[in-house]
């Protein structure tokens, strides 16, 4: 980790006032990480500290290069307040995003600066933990290729699909090992703090802090990639559920006696409304002789067809690809109708690779919602495609790591 953070976290303290001072400094840093920027009054109100105490702490944090003044806030009478944010590079986080058939790695700091460029590689996610060693080999090579000094890393955040218990560091769906958690394995290898988060919840954190859901109280974030997942924002916070397993919309029963899902059940939504379903259906129709621009792909590309291939063909006017996406959108819309009537959200944000189909997917979704949702509920629910770029998941994961890391340190310091 950076020298500044190392000094703050590992500083040896003798007196009770010193310990309290350090606790308050970490609390201020955590608040800035959560809000992006703060004024002195923001700190006073949120942390219940006196104005003289906050002014003193701010002066020390400025002197030690933890924070910097960068702007003036809105005046509520009198002079505009100074706004403070964290210095660049204070926290540097390695994000490892594991998807069904790929792995994406990047290093980002607390101000969304890219420290090491994003790399995406093919990697099929296995059900058991035997694949963990292969994943760490890929990560090791990434760190070598990008000339990363691991000592400068604050820690590692892993985002992936599945039934993830973030507190336990486990995934009951993928890379499961009865003898060790995923986080313990990575901590043992890299000697750094490691946290894990469901990929959809990472997207929800990003949308809530930086995206379209920023000023909403109750919204739904739908991540549409190879699978389909749901992030729930309830009362302005990401809802996790008892064990962190909320949002498994892809495994809601949808078709009676339908296809067998990889979860072991039949007729899950994911079997008819996901990237996997889109690709499988397209392959079956192509094998029957359907005419499509997809036939122009190289044999290897056609064998390894992806949702992106189909979306690109649809955007070029390929009627077959358009029809495949439309069928997918209709099934998604029917499922969303149930969610709207159950949860009454003000906004649904569509993210993931399939959302890149834009109106080709949103129009059939909206049509199905119109058909299957009570009028008063659909009238008060907007549906929008995420405005965040492809780094949004990394932004959400990085921010989650920093706030979680500081929460753990605060808990530790409170017990000293």
Structure confidence at residue 1 (pLDDT): 62
Strand intervals (E) in 37-81? 67-72
Q: Pick the closest to residue 85 from 62, 53, 52 (CA basis).
A: 62
Structure confidence at residue 301 (pLDDT): 85
* Rounded Cα distance, 4 and 91, in Å: 10
* Rounded Cα distance, 270 and 332, in Å: 9
Structure confidence at residue 86 (pLDDT): 96
Structure confidence at residue 7 (pLDDT): 61
What's the chain's Rg over C-alpha atoms?
Answer: 23
In this structure, is the dihedral angle defined by the CA atoms of residues 293, 295, 299 and 305, taken in order, positive or negative?
positive
Architecture of the domain spanning 92-202+392-404: 2-Layer Sandwich (3.30)
Q: Tell me the domain boundaries of the chain.
A: 3-86, 92-202+392-404, 214-385
Asked if the domains at 3-86 and 214-385 fall in one CATH topology, the answer is no
Architecture of the domain spanning 3-86: Orthogonal Bundle (1.10)
Structure confidence at residue 365 (pLDDT): 97
Task: Read off the pTM.
Answer: 0.90
CATH number of 214-385: 3.30.420.40
Structure confidence at residue 147 (pLDDT): 97
For the chain, 416 residues long, give each residue's pLDDT as a single digit of tens. 665 676 666 667 668 888 899 999 999 999 999 999 999 999 999 999 999 999 999 999 999 999 999 877 665 656 788 999 999 999 999 999 999 899 999 999 999 999 999 999 999 999 988 889 999 999 999 999 999 999 999 999 999 999 999 999 999 999 999 999 999 999 999 999 999 999 999 999 999 988 999 999 999 999 999 999 999 999 999 999 999 999 999 999 999 988 999 888 999 999 999 999 999 999 999 999 999 999 999 888 888 899 999 999 999 999 999 999 999 999 999 999 999 999 999 999 999 999 999 999 999 999 999 999 999 999 999 999 999 876 778 888 999 999 999 999 888 777 65
For 12, other C-beta atoms within 10 Å of its C-beta total 5
């Amino acid at each position: 980790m950076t020298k500044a953070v190392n000094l703050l976290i590992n500083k040896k303290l003798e007196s009770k006032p010193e310990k309290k001072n350090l606790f308050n400094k970490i609390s201020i840093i955590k608040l800035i990480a959560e809000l992006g920027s703060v004024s002195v009054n923001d700190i006073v109100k949120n942390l219940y500290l006196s104005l003289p105490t906050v002014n003193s702490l701010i002066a020390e944090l400025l002197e030690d290069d933890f924070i910097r003044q960068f702007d003036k806030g809105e005046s509520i009478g009198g002079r505009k307040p100074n706004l403070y944010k964290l210095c660049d590079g204070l926290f540097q986080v390695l994000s490892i995003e594991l998807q069904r058939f790929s792995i994406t790695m990047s290093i980002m700091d607390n101000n969304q600066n890219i420290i090491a460029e994003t790399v995406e590689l093919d990697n099929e996610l296995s059900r058991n933990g035997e694949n963990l060693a292969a994943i760490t080999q890929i990560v090791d090579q990434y760190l070598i290729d990008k000339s990363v000094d691991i000592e400068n890393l604050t820690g590692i955040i892993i985002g992936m699909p599945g039934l993830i218990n973030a507190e336990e560091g486990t995934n009951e769906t993928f890379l499961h090992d009865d003898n060790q958690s995923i986080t313990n394995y990575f901590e043992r290898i890299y000697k750094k703090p490691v946290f894990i988060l469901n990929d959809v919840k990472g997207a929800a954190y990003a949308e809530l802090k930086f995206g379209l859901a920023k000023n909403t109280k109750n919204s739904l974030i739908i991540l549409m990639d190879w699978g389909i997942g749901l992030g729930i924002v309830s009362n302005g916070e990401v809802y996790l559920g008892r064990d962190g397993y909320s949002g498994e919309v892809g495994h809601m029963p949808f078709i009676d006696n339908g296809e067998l899902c990889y979860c072991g059940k039949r007729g899950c939504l994911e079997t008819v409304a996901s990237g996997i379903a889109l690709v499988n259906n397209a392959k079956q129709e192509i094998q029957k002789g359907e005419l499509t621009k997809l036939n122009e792909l190289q044999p290897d590309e056609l064998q390894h067809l992806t949702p992106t291939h189909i979306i690109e063909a649809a955007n070029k006017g390929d009627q077959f690809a358009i029809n495949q996406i439309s069928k997918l959108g209709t099934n998604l819309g029917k499922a969303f109708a149930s969610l709207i009537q159950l949860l009454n959200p003000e906004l649904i944000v569509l993210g993931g690779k399939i959302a890149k189909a834009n109106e080709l997917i949103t129009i059939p979704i909206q049509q199905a919602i119109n058909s299957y949702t009570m009028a008063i509920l659909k009238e008060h629910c907007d549906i929008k495609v995420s405005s965040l770029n492809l780094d949004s998941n990394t932004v959400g994961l990085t921010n989650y790591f920093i706030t979680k890391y500081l929460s753990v340190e605060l808990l530790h310091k409170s017990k000293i």
